[in-house]
Structure 1
Amino acid sequence: MKKYTILTILIVTLFSSVAWSQSFYNFNRQRDIILSFGTGTSAYFGDLNDPGDIFDTRWNINLGLEYFLNDRISVRGELMYFSLAGDDESSNTEGRVRRNLSFTSDNGELNFVGIFNFRRNGRRFYQRPGVNGYVFGGLGLAYFQPKAIVPDVYVDDFGNSTPLPNAGEKIALKPLMTEGVDYNRVSLVIPFGGGVRFKAGPFFNIALEAGYRITFTDYLDDVSTTFRDQSIFGNDLTARALADRRPEIGLPRLAPGKRRGDSSDNDGYMIYNIKVEYYLPTHIMSTSKFKKNRRRSKRPRSQ
């Protein structure tokens, strides 16, 4: 997290330099589009985490543009890169420890949300409240790529070990079809949550935000249904080894049809962020002139 803290400080410093260079003329003009940069942590919820675990040390980074429709409602588009992980080894449940599955995943998300601010902004952007809470909700698309580290050997049902040529490598799990399912790595997501903004000067806000993502997949972690017969993997010993990892800790392989995951509930994830928000100058991007012309066109003509 240290390098992301340094990056955030550099971004703030750069934005501050730009802000001080703005003329009084531009200061007096309305700004209604915010550029935001954020970083924080990501938490995964699925078959490879314990109930009640709501924080994680995985990271995320995001960039967004927000447009104010009026003094309380805005819309935002955001790109995010984030990491998720889960493993049975650190579980408090014995059954999960004996299952011995794990994954890590670096992911991307594009989302569009509507935002409702609790307090109204002033007539000008620099007259906004010093503190303002908000809630948001919308739609997005997430791309995920669960991976796992290949063990040193494959152990067959008779206890014989065969060294694996890609031992120690982190590889994608989806092509292996560990449960015999060719799932899609792109999922529709529903982001929702809330946050609070702190005015940090005429052009800047600091925002703290938390948002959950409902997904439409149970394969963020490559775990969902049951163990399959090892014969479906043919001669692919790597797929055989990663489909059932119990032999790595000295336990027998489970029979086909035994529960591997819970398919009754889709996976999800939580995003926690601190963001720097900057009101873009009107000569870069603004709709204030359009709004002004639109208001004039609605005025009744004098007789």
Structure 2
Amino acid sequence: MNAGIGTTYYTGDLTEAGNLGHLRLGAAINGAIAYRYSPQLTFRLEGQVYFIRGSQKSTHLAYNNLSFYSVNPDIWAGIQWDFWQENDKNHVIIPYALLGAGLTYMTPRATFAGSYVSLAPLHTEGVDYNRLPVIIRYGLGVPIVATERFKWNLEAAYTHVLSDYLDDVSTVYPDRSKLDVFAAALSDRRLELGTIPNATGAQRGNSNRRDGYFVLSVRLIFIVRTYVQRNYRRSFPR
């Protein structure tokens, strides 16, 4: 059994690669159960709540003025593979890789006129997108402290979301005349900067690249020893 807490970094249409001065980090908390099937293979089931955010402010697209934040749940199941066996005397630290799939529920929001607004129901691009997409997660971890019953692991994982609407931005600006006034104001926020709105069909996002998020976390693992495991450890003394 294990639990973790960490920081998030969103990748998508409202972030800019290499803009280290404006990373806009978030936070995550998670819990998992895992079962060691063999000396190197572990099955893992995990649930998480994560906060991510993004904004075009201080980027080369600042003139479009789009932004979002989300507090989303996700759940995934997969495998964890240790690079060496637990009883390997030649390696004091044994890192691991993880791979799995699951689901997340997307809740993109924005701040508008001093209020928090849910963006998905507004159909800001004229699209009613799926808010429960499949996710694929992969990453690496390494124990930093270990005892007989407890471990502290440092883990870095990336979650690839099979949707481009994690941030409510994907394709082009819709025809504003087909949106209600409120939806039109959240679809194109240039008016808040005193500039004219984008033309219908102008580029709003990049639909060729799906969204995702990194999580760097510290995890506390409590090891539950079974009768079979205790006998296994006795047969392979360190």
Above 0.5 in TM-score?
A: yes
Q: Which has the larger radius of gyration?
A: 1
Match of 2:11 in 1: 45
Match of 1:88 among 27, 38, 56: 56
Match of 1:195 in 2: 141
Choose between structure 1 and 2: higher helix proportion.
1
Distance in 2 separating the partners of 1:53 and 1:208: 25
**Residue 173 of structure 1, CA deviation:** 0.3
Structure 1, unaligned runs of 5 or more: 1-34, 152-167, 293-303
The answer to whether the 8 Å contact 2:14/2:66 transfers is yes
Match of 1:119 in 2: 84
**Residue 122 of structure 1, CA deviation:** 2.8
Question: Residue type of the partner of 2:100?
Answer: G
**Residue 229 of structure 1, CA deviation:** 1.4
Match of 2:105 among 124, 135, 143: 143
Distance in 2 separating the partners of 1:53 and 1:116: 33
Deviations 1:126-157 (A, max 9, x none): x9x64210011111111110001123xxxxxx
Does residue 68 in structure 1 map to residue 36 in structure 2? yes
Distance in 1 separating the partners of 2:75 and 2:174: 34
> Partner of 1:121: helix, strand, or coil?
coil
> Partner of 2:62: helix, strand, or coil?
helix
**Residue 119 of structure 1, CA deviation:** 2.0
Distance in 1 separating the partners of 2:150 and 2:24: 29
Computed over aligned residues only, the root mean square deviation of the Cα atoms, in angstroms, reads 2.1
Structure 2, unaligned runs of 5 or more: 233-238
Distance in 2 separating the partners of 1:183 and 1:227: 15
Match of 1:263 among 191, 207, 212: 207
> Partner of 1:261: helix, strand, or coil?
coil
Choose between structure 1 and 2: higher strand proportion.
2
**Residue 287 of structure 1, CA deviation:** 7.3
| TM-score, normalising length: structure 2 | 0.90
> Partner of 2:191: helix, strand, or coil?
helix
Give the total of aligned pairs: 229
The answer to whether the 8 Å contact 2:25/2:52 transfers is no
The answer to whether the 8 Å contact 1:130/1:199 transfers is no
Question: Residue type of the partner of 2:209?
Answer: D
The answer to whether the 8 Å contact 1:207/1:276 transfers is yes
| TM-score, normalising length: structure 1 | 0.71
**Residue 118 of structure 1, CA deviation:** 1.3
